[in-house]
Amino acid sequence: MKKTYKIEVDCANCANKMEEAANKTAGVKSAVVNFMTLKMNVEFEEGQDPKAVMQEVRKNCKKVEDDCEVYI
């Protein structure tokens, strides 16, 4: 399953950090952050609950870039 989420981030480097953090999160098959559109496209692994996984993605993104936001 793929979903798109609105994000808030200040710079392209920070967006890259968010993408890396999202991709390292359990349950995420792949994540791509587009700084220009301020969107994160996430593909979830089979059988995962997107809401639960995105809570972890948000936590992991906050660890690398504390002033970012992922709107779930």
Q: Tell me the CA distances in angstroms from 39 to 8, 25, 34, 56, 63, one per residue in order.
A: 8, 17, 5, 17, 19
Residue 3 binned pLDDT confidence (cut-offs 50, 70, 90): very high
pLDDT for the residue numbered 44:
98
Domain that residue 51 falls in: 2-71
Domain count, the chain: 1
CATH code where residue 29 lies: 3.30.70.100
pTM: 0.94
Q: List pLDDT tens digits, range 31-55.
A: 999 999 999 999 999 999 999 999 9
Residue range 14-36: mean pLDDT, rounded: 97
